């Protein structure tokens, strides 16, 4: 017993050790832990982000260098603080405070002392830098915008948040990624691939040479440049026209679905979200709760389309045989829903398809709508047929364009009304407002533009998109190059197109004619409401205009939505024809009209609901 | 004598990987030379020289230990070294050897009867005097190693009763810390009750002593909290709580791993990162980065773990186990009781170093700073460990000459 006591203890200890060691080294061991190893630092070599060009090869977005002044507190020697602060353009208290912060972070590791110096500041500093030990300048790459517009569609880049890092292992903290718009959508292409160098560190985090002599290091892959379908000058012009107005403009090329301009008003200069002032500017934009400049109205503003929607209802009526081009409907300066009369501005009289559309007769559209519904055995079936037709124009869906945000709008379904009114407890009179694009129907400006493009093409459209080229290669993405056909036969489009051309020649938009340019369009004047202190209050009508031109060989289809702009021909119509003229002719012949649009703002309208005073709407005077 | 090879191979494979710079490496090589010289001298001297002068050696080392208080050099807060210019001499290392010798000589004395309480006290005194001197340097780790020499006395007849009390005390201390007195009382009560129910009727035990012991254990357990909270200092408590994983909150645990548990955490991580095969000689990233503090001394084993993997660490453990078992076998075959007792002393000293050091490095024992024999950097350590071992070998080699 005594003889083997010690030996047993020795054996026991040995076994315990082996058990613990096998636990540590065999069970807890995970082979892929190079990044968890505190002794290895991965230093990333960031490639330059790809440039963005417009459809004509004009530069939109490039990169610019910025210079961070870095400090390693432990290496700072006594210096002429005054001179140094003078060079950097900071005051001494700030300098001392920053230095203290850096020292608290680490005396041995570099910290940013002054971020993102401009080129000019850098120039002054550069030659004197060597006199200040412990400081050095680190170059970084920022986005440079060669345009003052397109902020909503181009998007911006910002630092990844912890959630991004957790979701996508190719990001690490502090890196930049596209957060909105094209920058986000084409992030993978623009970003390229970062290279990595593994550095061996000691416990003070100092570099002590490459890990395994760089055997695992990789080189960065440059980001590719992309060409987008946006027309830089059209976009800029659109934003100029939208100054002081809330709303959206979407211009498409009907033959391809390319987005020529995607304007959201009010907008902002994309450059303000770059550099030292970025966060201050962002807060300013973000907290502007009245103008909401970061809210892309061209993609997100889901509102009643108004009269432009009448064209679709007419098409559906034609397709289903509810009317033909000869059908006439009496307008009593309005129409009756049961015993209630709903108004109309067209002047009254017998209306057929042609005059009903170009004069935007409410009674005609309501009549078509009712005839369509009456053809079916039940309202529910009619609603299903109607919904199918409407959705074939891309309404009520996200459309599938290549930008990261959107709204589906609303094409109410049978189930929707069953839910609201109870199954089979509703009829066409309940939803008659849909006939004139009010009621439950909602669309976004890009959907309106797409719908217009489908009419312009007489029955098909291409999914709107902004990507044109990646690197030097034209895109060949089936989603964007294959036509989507509507459920309406091609032959039914011509009479509707003719009526839309008449809108411009002698209808509601006859004031807006451009010499030598035939445009087909449709105005919309949309009643809208808001809640002020819980009271439903009507605001000045929204001004809507959809158009395409030239009528027989459409090069551009456009939808303009100006909130509280009153008549469709007033703001939206002006802006739409100016945009078309700008795009097709290059310059504007109607200088007075242009001047008016550039100068007029609707700020007074937008101030009304916030004024706390009773206010008038739909004022005659401009 | 297979273990001599083992000894030297273990030595060679670990040493070059320890050092980043030539100075430490060169010095250690010098000490290897010095050790070999010492070994030659030891083997050259007559075997009974050691027994004869054991008392003298012991006294010399006591004087040296006392002298430290006057002339010692302070490193890392412990005044444990004499500055001899080129290197620092640590008399505690010498004392380990001489104490083993003195103890063996005393126990071998014809007049000593270890069953007698007075002689037990004397034997204990031989161990305690140097350890107390070292304790106040302060170097509690080294002091602790002396206590293990008690096993030599056990081998020679000290009643195992002492041992069982000691073990019980430690077990109660730990279980109280981990589970609290109430659970200990309940658990123990249940175990006793179960035992009473299941025992053979013929196996009779009296209730009273059992109950008294039960009460004594509970009373001791109750006092543990008091001792833990008042007698021990905060850094001791931290080490205990780290060792027994008393802290359940993962956030606080992470905090502890960054602060007081930094050494252990880093060394565990380094060993873990080695995996089964290790990162390869000189490829240990954490070793190169100096992440594990005191890695060339107390934490040398983490280098083995990182660079040589499980193969390396398991080999070291197995080699040490075999070495110690071999020594135990050798000790048992000694005809001369002095040699046997000294042999046990050697085993005890080597074992306690190996056990506490590796246990600490792999995180199953609280942090106690003592070196790993033959691995850790340290001049006096290496020389004296060699001396310790080779004196026994000399004695062993000499056993044929002894009279049966």
For B318-338, the three-class secondary structure string (H helix, E strand, C coil) is: HHHHHHHHHHHHHHHCCCCHH
Mean pLDDT, to the nearest integer, of A290-316?
93
Question: Is the pLDDT confidence value at B14 over 70?
Answer: no
Q: For residue B264, how many C-alpha atoms fall within 13 Å in the half-sphere facing its CB?
A: 28
- List, in order of start, the domains of chain A with CATH numbers: 232-611 (3.40.710.10)
| Confidence (pLDDT) at B154 | 76
Question: Is the pLDDT confidence value at A482 over 70?
Answer: yes
Give the residues across from A272 on adjacent strands: none
- Output the CA–CA distances (angstroms, integers) from residue A519 to A393, A546, A556, A577, B354, in the order listed: 21, 10, 10, 8, 95
Mean pLDDT, to the nearest integer, of A121-135?
82
In angstroms, rounded to a whole number, what is the distance separating the alpha carbons of residues A76 and A131?
11
pLDDT band with cut points at 50, 70 and 90 for residue B251: low
Whether residues B351 and A6 touch (CB distance < 8 A) is answered with yes
In angstroms, rounded to a whole number, what is the distance separating the alpha carbons of residues A271 and A171?
24
Q: How crowded is residue A118: how many other Cβ atoms within 10 Å of its Cβ?
A: 14
Question: Is the pLDDT confidence value at A123 over 50?
Answer: yes
Mean pLDDT, to the nearest integer, of A173-180?
82
Closest partner residue to A200 (CB to CB) among B276, B288, B328 is: B288
Burial of A286 (0-12, 13-18, 19+ CB in 10 A): exposed
| B213 vs A214: which has the higher pLDDT | B213
In angstroms, rounded to a whole number, what is the distance separating the alpha carbons of residues A202 and A406?
50
| A432 vs B363: which has the higher pLDDT | A432
Task: For CA atoms B321, B325, B326, B330, give the dihedral sign.
Answer: positive
**Chain A residues with a Cβ under 8 Å from any Cβ in chain B:** 1-3, 5-7, 9-11, 13-14, 16-18, 20-22, 24-26, 28-29, 31, 33, 37-40, 200-203, 208, 211-212
The token duo for A249 is 């403009």
In angstroms, rounded to a whole number, what is the distance separating the alpha carbons of residues B304 and B310?
9
Whether residues B283 and A14 touch (CB distance < 8 A) is answered with no
Burial of A213 (0-12, 13-18, 19+ CB in 10 A): exposed
pLDDT band with cut points at 50, 70 and 90 for residue B56: confident
The token duo for B172 is 């109660």
The token duo for A281 is 């500017």
pLDDT band with cut points at 50, 70 and 90 for residue A238: very high
Strands A247-253 and A226-228: unpaired
| Confidence (pLDDT) at A17 | 84
In angstroms, rounded to a whole number, what is the distance separating the alpha carbons of residues B16 and A525?
88
| Confidence (pLDDT) at B77 | 67
Lowest mean pLDDT among A30-44, A140-154, A170-184, A327-341: A30-44
In angstroms, rounded to a whole number, what is the distance separating the alpha carbons of residues A82 and B249?
50
| B343 vs A246: which has the higher pLDDT | A246
Closest CA relative to residue A294, chosen from A261, A268, A276: A268
In angstroms, rounded to a whole number, what is the distance separating the alpha carbons of residues B168 and B166?
5
- CA closest to A38 among chain B residues: B286
| Model confidence, pTM | 0.65
- CA closest to A18 among chain B residues: B314
Q: Which tens digits make up the pLDDT trace of A347-400?
A: 888 899 999 998 889 999 999 999 999 999 888 999 999 999 999 999 999 999
Question: Is the pLDDT confidence value at A530 over 70?
Answer: yes
Closest CA relative to residue A142, chosen from A34, A269, A238, A48: A48
Closest CA relative to residue A434, chosen from A495, A382, A369: A369
| Residue from A8, A21, A41 whose CB has the most chain B CBs within 10 Å, to mutate | A21
Region class of A585: left (phi > 0), else alpha (psi between -120 and 50), else beta: alpha
- Residue A37 with chain B: CB contacts under 8 Å: 273, 285-286
Q: For residue B160, how many C-alpha atoms fall within 13 Å in the half-sphere facing its CB?
A: 6
In angstroms, rounded to a whole number, what is the distance separating the alpha carbons of residues B354 and B360?
10
Q: How many CB pairs under 8 A join A and B?
A: 112
- Shortest CA gap A134–chain B (Å): 23
Q: b vs e for A179-200, b when ≥16 Cβ sit within 10 Å of the residue's Cβ?
A: bbbbbbbbbebbbbbbebbbbb
Tokens 């400081």 belong to residue:
A135
The token duo for A173 is 């903290």
Burial of A163 (0-12, 13-18, 19+ CB in 10 A): exposed
In angstroms, rounded to a whole number, what is the distance separating the alpha carbons of residues A71 and A95?
11
Question: Is the pLDDT confidence value at A27 over 70?
Answer: yes
The token duo for B64 is 């040296």
| Confidence (pLDDT) at B201 | 67
What's the alpha-carbon Rg for chain B, to the nearest Å? 23
**DSSP label at residue A75:** G
- CA closest to B288 among chain A residues: A202
Mean pLDDT of chain B: 73
* Residues ≥6 apart with Cβ < 8 Å to A8: none
Burial of A591 (0-12, 13-18, 19+ CB in 10 A): exposed
| Confidence (pLDDT) at A453 | 96
In angstroms, rounded to a whole number, what is the distance separating the alpha carbons of residues A514 and A539?
31
In angstroms, rounded to a whole number, what is the distance separating the alpha carbons of residues A345 and A131?
79
Mean pLDDT, to the nearest integer, of A584-602?
90
| B235 vs B299: which has the higher pLDDT | B299
Closest CA relative to residue B1, chosen from B394, B401, B404: B394
% of chain B surpassing 90 pLDDT: 0
| Confidence (pLDDT) at A268 | 93
Residues in chain B: 404
In angstroms, rounded to a whole number, what is the distance separating the alpha carbons of residues A456 and A459?
8
Strands (E), A374-440: none
The token duo for B259 is 């602060």
Closest CA relative to residue B346, chosen from B363, B367, B370, B324: B324
pLDDT band with cut points at 50, 70 and 90 for residue A69: confident
Give the residues across from A532 on adjacent strands: A535
CB of B212 within 8 Å of a chain A CB? The answer is no
Asked if residue A209 lies in contact with residue A69, where contact means CB atoms within 8 angstroms, the answer is no
Asked if residue A546 lies in contact with residue A449, where contact means CB atoms within 8 angstroms, the answer is yes
Of A36-40, A331-335, A338-342, B197-201, which one has max mean pLDDT?
A: A331-335
Q: How crowded is residue B98: how many other Cβ atoms within 10 Å of its Cβ?
A: 25
- Residue B314 with chain A: CB contacts under 8 Å: 18, 21-22
| Residue from B288, B293, B316, B364 whose CB has the most chain A CBs within 10 Å, to mutate | B288
| Confidence (pLDDT) at B284 | 59
Mean pLDDT, to the nearest integer, of B264-268?
73
- Shortest CA gap A210–chain B (Å): 11
Give the residues across from A221 on adjacent strands: A193
CB of B317 within 8 Å of a chain A CB? The answer is yes
pLDDT band with cut points at 50, 70 and 90 for residue B289: low
Question: Is the pLDDT confidence value at A108 over 80?
Answer: no
Asked if residue B291 lies in contact with residue B365, where contact means CB atoms within 8 angstroms, the answer is no
In angstroms, rounded to a whole number, what is the distance separating the alpha carbons of residues A507 and A360?
8
In angstroms, rounded to a whole number, what is the distance separating the alpha carbons of residues A328 and A354?
10
In angstroms, rounded to a whole number, what is the distance separating the alpha carbons of residues B140 and B134?
7
Q: Which tens digits make up the pLDDT trace of B36-47?
A: 788 888 777 777
pLDDT band with cut points at 50, 70 and 90 for residue B21: very low
Question: Is the pLDDT confidence value at A428 over 80?
Answer: yes
Q: Which tens digits make up the pLDDT trace of B111-166?
A: 777 777 788 788 888 888 888 888 777 777 777 778 778 777 777 777 777 777 77
Question: Is the pLDDT confidence value at A254 over 90?
Answer: yes
The token duo for B190 is 């249940």
| Confidence (pLDDT) at A440 | 92
Q: For residue B131, how many C-alpha atoms fall within 13 Å in the half-sphere facing its CB?
A: 19
* Residues ≥6 apart with Cβ < 8 Å to B375: B10, B11, B14, B300, B301, B304, B316
Closest CA relative to residue A99, chosen from A125, A124, A72: A72
- Residue A25 with chain B: CB contacts under 8 Å: 271-272, 274-276, 305, 309-310, 313
CB of B310 within 8 Å of a chain A CB? The answer is yes
Of A338-342, A555-559, B87-91, B222-226, which one has max mean pLDDT?
A: A555-559
Helix (H) or strand (E) holding A63: strand A59-71
- Residue A14 with chain B: CB contacts under 8 Å: 317-318, 320-321
pLDDT band with cut points at 50, 70 and 90 for residue A562: very high
Strands A111-117 and A135-145: unpaired
pLDDT band with cut points at 50, 70 and 90 for residue B231: low
Q: Which tens digits make up the pLDDT trace of B322-333?
A: 888 888 888 888
What's the alpha-carbon Rg for chain A, to the nearest Å? 32
Burial of A474 (0-12, 13-18, 19+ CB in 10 A): exposed
Question: Is the pLDDT confidence value at B259 over 80?
Answer: no
In angstroms, rounded to a whole number, what is the distance separating the alpha carbons of residues B34 and B57?
20
The token duo for A194 is 């970062």
Asked if residue A459 lies in contact with residue A496, where contact means CB atoms within 8 angstroms, the answer is no
Asked if residue A177 lies in contact with residue A157, where contact means CB atoms within 8 angstroms, the answer is yes
The token duo for A559 is 């939808």
Closest partner residue to B305 (CB to CB) among A14, A25, A201 is: A25
Question: Is the pLDDT confidence value at A261 over 70?
Answer: yes
* Residues ≥6 apart with Cβ < 8 Å to A309: A434, A436, A437, A441, A443, A524
Of A105-114, A582-591, B204-213, which one has max mean pLDDT?
A: A582-591
Closest partner residue to B317 (CB to CB) among A7, A14, A38 is: A14
| Confidence (pLDDT) at A145 | 92
Whether residues B285 and A200 touch (CB distance < 8 A) is answered with yes
% of chain A surpassing 70 pLDDT: 95
């Amino acid at each position: 017993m005594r003889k083997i006591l010690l030996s047993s203890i020795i054996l026991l200890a040995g076994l315990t050790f082996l058990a613990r060691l096998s636990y540590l080294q065999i069970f807890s061991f995970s082979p892929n832990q190079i990044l968890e190893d505190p002794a290895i630092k991965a230093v990333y070599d960031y490639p330059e982000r790809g440039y963005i060009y417009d459809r004509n090869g004009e530069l939109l977005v490039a990169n610019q260098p910025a210079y961070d002044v870095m400090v390693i507190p432990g290496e700072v020697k006594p210096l002429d603080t005054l001179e140094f602060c003078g060079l950097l353009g900071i005051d001494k208290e700030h300098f001392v405070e920053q230095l203290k912060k850096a020292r608290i972070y680490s005396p041995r590791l570099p910290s940013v002392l002054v971020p993102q110096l401009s080129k000019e500041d850098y120039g002054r500093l550069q030659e004197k830098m060597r006199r200040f030990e412990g400081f050095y300048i680190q170059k970084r790459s920022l986005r440079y915008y060669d345009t003052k517009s397109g902020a909503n569609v181009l998007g911006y880049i910002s630092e990844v948040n912890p959630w991004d890092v957790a979701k996508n292992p190719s990001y690490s903290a502090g890196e930049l990624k596209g957060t909105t718009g094209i920058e986000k959508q084409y992030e993978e292409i623009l970003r390229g691939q970062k290279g990595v160098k593994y550095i061996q560190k000691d416990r003070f985090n100092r570099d002590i040479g490459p890990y395994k002599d760089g055997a695992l290091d990789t080189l960065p892959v440059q980001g590719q440049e992309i060409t987008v379908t946006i027309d830089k000058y059209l976009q800029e012009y659109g934003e100029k026209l939208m100054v002081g107005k809330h709303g959206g403009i979407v211009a498409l090329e009907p033959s391809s679905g390319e987005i020529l301009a995607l304007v959201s008003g009010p907008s902002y200069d994309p450059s303000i979200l770059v550099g030292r002032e970025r966060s201050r500017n962002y807060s300013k934009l973000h907290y502007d709760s009245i103008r909401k400049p970061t809210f892309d109205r061209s993609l997100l503003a889901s509102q009643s389309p108004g009269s432009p929607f009448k064209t679709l209802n007419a098409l559906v009526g034609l397709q289903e045989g509810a009317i033909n081009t000869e059908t006439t409907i009496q307008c009593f300066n309005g129409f009756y829903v049961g015993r209630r009369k709903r108004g109309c501005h067209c002047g009254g009289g017998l209306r057929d398809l042609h005059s009903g559309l170009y004069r935007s007769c409410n009674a005609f559209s309501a009549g078509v709508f009712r005839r369509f519904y009456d053809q079916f055995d039940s309202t529910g079936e009619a609603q299903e047929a109607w919904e199918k037709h409407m959705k074939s124009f891309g309404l009520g869906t996200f459309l599938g364009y290549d930008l990261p945000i959107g709204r589906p709008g609303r094409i109410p379904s049978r189930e929707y009304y069953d839910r609201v009114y109870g199954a089979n407890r509703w009829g066409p009179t309940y939803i008659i407002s849909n006939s004139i694009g009010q009621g439950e129907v909602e669309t976004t400006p890009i959907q309106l533009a797409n719908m217009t493009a489908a009419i312009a093409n007489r029955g098909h459209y291409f999914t709107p998109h902004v990507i044109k080229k990646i690197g030097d290669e034209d895109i060949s993405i089936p989603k964007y190059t294959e036509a989507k056909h509507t459920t309406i036969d091609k032959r039914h489009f011509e009479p509707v197109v003719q009526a839309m051309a008449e809108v411009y020649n002698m209808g509601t938009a006859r004031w807006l004619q451009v010499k030598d340019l035939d445009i087909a369009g449709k105005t919309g004047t949309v009643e809208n409401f808001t809640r002020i202190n819980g009271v439903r209050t009507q605001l000045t009508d929204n001004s809507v205009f959809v158009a395409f031109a030239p009528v027989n060989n459409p090069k551009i289809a456009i939808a303009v939505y100006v909130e509280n702009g009153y008549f469709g021909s007033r703001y939206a119509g002006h802006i739409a024809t100016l945009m078309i003229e700008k795009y097709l002719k290059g310059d504007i012949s109607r200088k007075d009209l242009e001047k008016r649009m550039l100068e007029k703002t609707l700020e007074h309208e937008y101030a009304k609901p916030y004024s706390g005073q009773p206010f008038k709407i739909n004022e005659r005077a401009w | 004598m297979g273990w001599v090879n083992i000894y030297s191979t273990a030595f060679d494979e670990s040493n070059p990987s320890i050092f980043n710079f030539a100075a430490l490496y060169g010095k250690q090589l010098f000490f290897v030379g010095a050790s070999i010289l010492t070994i030659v001298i030891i083997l050259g001297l007559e075997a009974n020289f050691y027994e004869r002068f054991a008392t003298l050696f012991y006294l010399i080392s006591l004087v040296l230990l006392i002298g430290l208080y006057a002339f010692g050099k302070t490193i890392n807060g412990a005044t444990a070294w004499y500055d001899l210019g080129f290197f620092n001499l640590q008399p505690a290392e010498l004392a380990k050897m001489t104490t083993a010798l003195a103890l063996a000589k005393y126990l071998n004395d014809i007049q000593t009867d270890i069953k007698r309480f007075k002689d037990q006290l004397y034997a204990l005194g031989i161990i305690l005097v140097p350890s107390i001197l070292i304790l106040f340097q302060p170097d509690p780790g080294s002091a602790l190693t002396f206590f293990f020499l008690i096993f030599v006395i056990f081998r020679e007849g000290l009643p195992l009763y002492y041992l069982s009390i000691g073990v019980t005390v430690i077990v109660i201390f730990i279980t109280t810390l981990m589970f609290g007195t109430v659970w200990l009382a309940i658990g123990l009560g249940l175990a006793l009750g179960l035992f009473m129910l299941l025992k053979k009727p013929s196996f009779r035990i009296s209730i009273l002593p059992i109950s008294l012991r039960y009460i004594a254990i509970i009373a001791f357990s109750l006092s543990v909290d008091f001792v833990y909270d008042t007698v021990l200092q905060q850094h001791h408590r931290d080490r205990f709580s780290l060792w027994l994983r008393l802290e359940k909150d993962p956030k606080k645990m992470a905090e502890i791993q960054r602060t007081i548990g930094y050494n252990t955490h880093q060394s565990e991580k380094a060993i873990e990162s080695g995996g089964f095969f290790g990162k390869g000689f000189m490829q240990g990233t954490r070793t190169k980065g100096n992440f594990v503090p005191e890695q060339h001394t107390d934490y040398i084993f983490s280098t083995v773990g990182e660079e040589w993997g499980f193969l390396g660490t398991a080999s070291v453990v197995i080699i040490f186990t075999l070495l110690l078992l071999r020594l135990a076998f050798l000790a048992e075959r000694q005809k001369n009781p002095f040699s046997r007792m000294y042999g046990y002393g050697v085993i005890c000293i080597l074992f306690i170093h190996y056990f506490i050091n590796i246990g600490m490095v792999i995180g199953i024992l609280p942090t106690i700073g003592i070196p790993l024999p033959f691995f850790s950097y340290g001049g006096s350590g290496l020389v004296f460990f060699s001396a310790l071992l080779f004196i026994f070998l000399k004695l062993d080699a000499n056993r044929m000459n002894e009279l049966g």
